[in-house]
Structure formats: structure tokens, C-alpha cells
């Protein structure tokens, strides 16, 4: 009975809050632009490889030997092995976007768990977890990640794990600070008085109230994850050729800068546009979910 009425009270304002946030979000030009760009990008990388007459590792023996410029057969040219640059770009986008998305999801889960436990229990638990977070933040990310992937020669799954393991700290701090404030509020006390256990308090009562900032952080994490994966692949430690990603396409293009500059433009432009779009959406979400600002 008590359970029921509590649920009803908390459910109603939340729904309209979400609806209002969506409305506010779609009023912002940049945020909508970013959103549209991301949807378009997702569609292209899903559908594109099906439409292309080439597979990502098909070799065209008419243009093999050195990179060929744009032509009716190869819209963005082809690389030194005669592979179609556009097909590789789109296929690489699939991998870059998937690794970015999965890495961000993983980082958010870890960050929320660490932050929630830290902010809820406080005391020693908090001290230990936060020092761990500090340590992770002080370790130079890139050398560390390079080393890990140098040792493990990662496939996509391990790569996601590595990326996720190195970008959760910001989210953890954010969630912790939210929990520290929210745990003192009356509705938590009320739920506790009604006999809710710690797990229920943390994940059913407090967490939904912190969902705004977490969503923003998760969105922005997608950008960092894509950036990190590209950097890694660019340096030659990420996903290995012949499988293309935007990062390793840039890596191979960098040996042909003076003779085939057209190979180096599209992959970087794709990373830039994607990360920019993600940041637009993130900023838009922040404004939409925290109207006080």
C-alpha cells in the first residue's frame, strides 16, 4: 500500500520532467543539428556497406600499386592496395562508432557503480574508492592504454574494455557528488523509514534523481571513447588492418601525405563531425535537463 502511493507520487512529475526536457532539447538548434548528424551517421554506417559494390578488403587490380584519386568507380579514391576508400571509410565508421558507444556504456556503468557506492556509504569506502579514482586520473592515459594494447594485441572486445576502464573516473566523481547531496534529502529518509534496503535506496530512489547529469556525462563519454579509439588505432595499437577504423585509415594515409592527400581528409573529418555532434547533443542535454543553469 505504502509502496504503491510512493511510486505514484514519484512517477508523475518524472514523466512530465522527461517530456519537458525533450521539448527543451529540440528547441536548441545546435543540439538538433548534432542529433540529426548522429542519426544520419548511424544510418550510413549500417546501410552503407550493403549498398557498396565492394567489400572492405576487395582489391581493384586496375588501380593497385599506389593510391588512386577519385573516380566514378571509386568516389573517394582507392588506397595503395586498390581498396575502395569510401567503402573502407564507412565500414571503419561502423567499428569506430561501435567501440565508442560500447566503451562509453562500460565507462558509465563502472562510473555509476563506483560513484554510487562511494557517495552512499561515505567513510572508509568512499576514501578508498576516491583515492583509487585519483590514482587512475593521475596515470597518463595514453601511454597506459598503449602499453595495455601493445601487450594484449586487442580485438574489439578487449579494446572496449581498455577504453572503458580508462574513462570512467569523471562519471564516478560526478555520481558521487550527486549521491552525497541526494542521500540527505527527505525522500530518502522517508523511503528508509518505510524499510527500503540500501540497494533499493541507491538504485530505485537516489539514482533516478541523478539521471540528468549522468546522461550528459555518458553522452560526452561517447565522444572521448571515439577519440581514444581513433588515437589508439592511429598509433597502430588498436584494431589491426585489414579491418579499417577511422584511426588506422589515417595511419595508413599518413604515409602518402604528399602524393595522395585525398586519403587523409575524410577519416579525420568523420571523427571531427561525430565528436562535434556528440558534444552538441551533450551540451543540449545539459541545458535541457538542468534548466536552472
Total of chain residues touching other proteins, rule CB under 8 A: 43
The correct pick among 33, 52, 141, 209 for binding other proteins (CB under 8 A) is: 141
- Distance CA(216)–CA(197), nearest Å, equals 28
Contact characters 34-63, other proteins, x per CB under 8 A: ------------------------------
> Hunting for cell 558521487 — which residue is that?
176
> Does the protein bind other proteins through residue 131 (CB under 8 A)?
yes
> Hunting for cell 592504454 — which residue is that?
145
**Closest CB to other proteins among 190 and 265?**
265
> Hunting for cell 537516489 — which residue is that?
206
> Hunting for cell 573516380 — which residue is that?
71
CA angle 18, 23, 28 (to 5 degrees): 125
**Closest CB to other proteins among 129 and 191?**
129
Residues in contact with 253: Cβ distance below 8 Å, sequence separation at least 6, in sequence order: 79, 260, 263, 264, 267
Provide φ and ψ at 166, rounded to 5°. Answer: -110, 0
Cell numbers standing for residue 18: 522527461
Closest separation between CB of residue 58 and other proteins, Å?
26
84 strand-pairing partners: 78
Report the site for other proteins in 146-205 (rule: CB under 8 A): 146-148, 150-152
Binding region for other proteins (CB under 8 A) out of 83-91, 101-109, 171-179, 271-279: 271-279
- Distance CA(271)–CA(97), nearest Å, equals 9
Q: CA 134: distance to chain centroid?
A: 22
Binding region for other proteins (CB under 8 A) out of 42-50, 78-86, 139-147, 182-190: 139-147
Burial class of 205 by CB neighbour count within 10 A (0 to 12, 13 to 18, 19+):
buried
**Whats the size of the chain, residue-wise?**
293
Closest separation between CB of residue 221 and other proteins, Å?
14
The correct pick among 45, 280, 284, 286 for binding other proteins (CB under 8 A) is: 280
**Closest CB to other proteins among 49 and 236?**
236
Closest separation between CB of residue 75 and other proteins, Å?
21
- Distance CA(95)–CA(46), nearest Å, equals 11
Report the site for other proteins in 202-231 (rule: CB under 8 A): 223, 227, 230-231
**Closest CB to other proteins among 170 and 208?**
170
| Cβ atoms of residues 229 and 100 within 8 Å | yes
Binding region for other proteins (CB under 8 A) out of 1-9, 87-95, 137-145, 159-167: 137-145
Interface with other proteins (CB under 8 A): 131-132, 134-135, 138-144, 146-148, 150-152, 223, 227, 230-231, 234-237, 247, 250, 253-254, 257-258, 261, 264, 267-269, 271-272, 275-276, 278-280
Amino acid at each position: 500500500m505504502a509502496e504503491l502511493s510512493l511510486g505514484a507520487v514519484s512517477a508523475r512529475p518524472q514523466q512530465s520532467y522527461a517530456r519537458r526536457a525533450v521539448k527543451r532539447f529540440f528547441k536548441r538548434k545546435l543540439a538538433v543539428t548534432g542529433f540529426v548528424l548522429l542519426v544520419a551517421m548511424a544510418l550510413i554506417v549500417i546501410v552503407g556497406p550493403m549498398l557498396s559494390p565492394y567489400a572492405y578488403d576487395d582489391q581493384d587490380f586496375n588501380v593497385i600499386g599506389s593510391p588512386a584519386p577519385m573516380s566514378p568507380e571509386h568516389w573517394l579514391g582507392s588506397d595503395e592496395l586498390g581498396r575502395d576508400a569510401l567503402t573502407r571509410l564507412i565500414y571503419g565508421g561502423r567499428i569506430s562508432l561501435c567501440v565508442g558507444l560500447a566503451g562509453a556504456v562500460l565507462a558509465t556503468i563502472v562510473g555509476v557503480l563506483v560513484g554510487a557506492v562511494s557517495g552512499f556509504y561515505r567513510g572508509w569506502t568512499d576514501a578508498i574508492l576516491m583515492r583509487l579514482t585519483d590514482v587512475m586520473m593521475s596515470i597518463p592515459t595514453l601511454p597506459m592504454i598503449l602499453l595495455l594494447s601493445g601487450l594484449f594485441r586487442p580485438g574489439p572486445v578487449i579494446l572496449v574494455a581498455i577504453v572503458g576502464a580508462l574513462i570512467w573516473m569523471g562519471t564516478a566523481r560526478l555520481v558521487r557528488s550527486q549521491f552525497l547531496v541526494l542521500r540527505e534529502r527527505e525522500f530518502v529518509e522517508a523511503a528508509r523509514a518505510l524499510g527500503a534496503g540500501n540497494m533499493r535506496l541507491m538504485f530505485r530512489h537516489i539514482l533516478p534523481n541523478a539521471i540528468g547529469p549522468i546522461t550528459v556525462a555518458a553522452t560526452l563519454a561517447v565522444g572521448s571513447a571515439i577519440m581514444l579509439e581513433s588515437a589508439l588505432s592511429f598509433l597502430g595499437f588498436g584494431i589491426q588492418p585489414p579491418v579499417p577504423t577511422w584511426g588506422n585509415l589515417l595511419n595508413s594515409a599518413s604515409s602518402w601525405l604528399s602524393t595522395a592527400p585525398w586519403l587523409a581528409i575524410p577519416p579525420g573529418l568523420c571523427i571531427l563531425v561525430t565528436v562535434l555532434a556528440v558534444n552538441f547533443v551533450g551540451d543540449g542535454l545539459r541545458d535541457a535537463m538542468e534548466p536552472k543553469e
